[in-house]
Chain A
Amino acid sequence: MAVNLKRSSGEDSDGGKTSRRKMLGWLTGAGLFGSAGLSAVSNFVFIKPRATYGQPQRFSVGKPEDYPSGTRAILASRGICIIREGSKLAAISTTCTHLGCTVGAADTGFACPCHGSRFDQDGNVTGGPAPRPLPWFQITLAPNGEIEVDKDIEIAPGSYLTL
């Protein structure tokens, strides 16, 4: 065995043996580093949760009668603002499109306490760093007469549900 180890040292000119040794070296290295890389990737797979816990994105917010005309009701726990104008209903997000703080009602619409983004009554950006207007969510009337909001579906600003 020891003889074998010694033999190829100094046999650089002998292409065949050197390249076999090199080949084995490459394979060993690829195996070691490859498995190290795979372990690293599997760690990331591990810490990326498959199931997340959160609030339902689709929920009921009560009957239209609860929101008389002219209402602008912020439902803080749902992160939306229900707007009723005449027979028109809409749900606007109250999560700032800048960095995720919750906007509050202001004289001119909405204002964010974290970085000073400002929005008008319809959620359009009027100042500050917010990159997008506040999204409007799909709002439907369920068969039982309750208003249903689906935060997974954004609709074009200005599209109201007409009762």
Chain B
Amino acid sequence: MSRPTPPKSSLLATLLDLPKNVWSSIFRNPLPSNDLERSATSFTNFFLHIHPVKVHKNSLRPAYTFGLGLISFFLFVILIVTGILLMFYYVPSTTQAYDRMLDLRGSVAFGTLLRNMHRWSAHGMVAVVFLHLCRVFLTGSYKKPREFNWVVGVILFLLTLFMSFTGYLLPWDQLAFWAITVGTAIAGYAPVIGKDIQFLLMGGTSVGQEALLRFYVLHVAVLPAILTLMIAIHFWRIRKDGGLSRPEDADPKIAIEPMEVAATKASVPEPKKLYGFQGLVRGPLTKVGQVPDNTVFSWPNLFLAELFTFVVTLSAILVLSLLFNAPLEEPVNALHPPNPAKAPWYFLGLQEMVSYSAFWGGIGVPGIFVLLLLGTPYLDRGPKGVGKWFSRDRLLANTIFITFVVANVIFVIIGTFFRGANWAFVTPW
């Protein structure tokens, strides 16, 4: 009995098709040319399926978000990549750490560039995460149903600060040593558990080898893991909370049957029409084609915007890193703090505050501020003013928030420019 012989495929033909076959085994879809393929491209790709297939036009308005959340994320990605590379040369030892910094600068290819990128991205991330927080507040985007994602965001902001704090001990220069001495001492002022936290952070009673090792582990393992997890939750919640916030009037009003009526109609169908129950979905029932569609396909609209943001972010960091070198102070001198001993700019507001009172400046006021931030969506329950910058409906909340921000900025400015030797008040001119 003879079987039909398949068309003979030569080895050559197989090899010639190899690239195409490998490619199509990874990417199931060709570059999309119609809406169905645009959808498929979005949800069959692991990295793209985090996005919705279609995105609201309002979410793509640059002047609405300024891309701040995305920029934060891209800076985090840059920080992970440069951070892992730096780990190849860094040793968390009090005798070696500073020399390793000098090696990075002097004898490692691209060492200076990578360290600069890591430092400026870290500064950038603190700034951009804070601006992102301001954007979300000032557009009222923390309101229902996004309350919990706001809380996750506040935690992400605190983690970002803690990441940068644990990071700048690692060069083991003067800034590092005295900032950690002061920082852990501030923790010691926390009520009840303060002294224990201070002891756990330092791994002893003074800042030394144990503290360096502990901050290193926190910086390269513990905090990045928590941060990555929280970012995943943050992104996932954006989808589950209905995408980015937008004003009520972002979609023109149309006559939509109230859910009850529609549901009643749908659930009492003619006999044997069981598919009527499919109408029992959340939200008002609409008919296909009746809703003015204010969404556009993520491919290419959203993805191009994201690519653009990434390229701009990376370019900015590269340019900064080529122009400015990350500071490295004198090696640690545990006997003499520099005078004045100043923290990085984003902690100078805190430093200025603790120069009045260690407890109130370091624990009390920041603690109240964080609690207020965490509680914001649960205290401010008014449904109005979502999705608009500086909405009149949210005048009070915005005023309180801006007052806090301006106060902190003023403290940062005082700490940066108006403090000299022995933290005495000086004028910069």
Interface size of A in residues (CB-CB distance below 8 Å): 26
Hey, which chain B residues are within 8 Å of A48, CB to CB? Answer: 196, 199-200
Hey, which chain B residues are within 8 Å of A101, CB to CB? Answer: 178, 181-182, 337, 341
**C-alpha spacing A44/B193, complex, angstroms:** 13
- Interface size grouping (class) on chain B: 35 or more
**C-alpha spacing A49/B211, complex, angstroms:** 11
B80 to chain A, nearest CB (A): 24
Hey, which chain A residues are within 8 Å of B351, CB to CB? Answer: 114-115
A49 and chain B: residue at smallest CB distance: B203
Q: Which of A77, A112, A114 contacts B335 (CB 8 A)?
A: A77
A53 to chain B, nearest CB (A): 6
A118 and chain B: residue at smallest CB distance: B422
A48 to chain B, nearest CB (A): 6
User: B335 to A53, Cβ gap below 8 A?
Assistant: no
User: B208 to A53, Cβ gap below 8 A?
Assistant: yes
Would you list 25 pairs from A and B whose C-beta atoms are within 8 A, ordered by A residue? Answer: A47-B200, A48-B196, A48-B200, A52-B205, A53-B204, A53-B210, A77-B335, A99-B182, A99-B354, A99-B358, A101-B181, A101-B182, A102-B336, A104-B336, A104-B339, A112-B422, A113-B421, A113-B422, A114-B182, A114-B341, A114-B351, A115-B351, A116-B423, A129-B356, A129-B361
**C-alpha spacing A102/B335, complex, angstroms:** 7
Given A115-B182, A118-B422, 9 other A-B residues pairs in contact with their CB atoms under 8 A: A49-B204, A76-B335, A99-B182, A99-B362, A104-B336, A112-B422, A112-B423, A113-B422, A115-B355
Show the binding face of B for A, using Cβ within 8 Å.
Answer: 178, 181-182, 184-186, 196, 199-200, 203-206, 208-210, 214, 335-341, 351, 354-358, 361-362, 419, 421-424
Show the binding face of A for B, using Cβ within 8 Å.
Answer: 44, 47-49, 52-54, 76-77, 98-102, 104, 106, 111-116, 118, 128-129, 131
**C-alpha spacing A114/B356, complex, angstroms:** 12
**C-alpha spacing A118/B326, complex, angstroms:** 33
A99 to chain B, nearest CB (A): 4
Hey, which chain A residues are within 8 Å of B341, CB to CB? Answer: 101, 113-114
**C-alpha spacing A71/B210, complex, angstroms:** 36
Hey, which chain B residues are within 8 Å of A98, CB to CB? Answer: 185, 354, 358
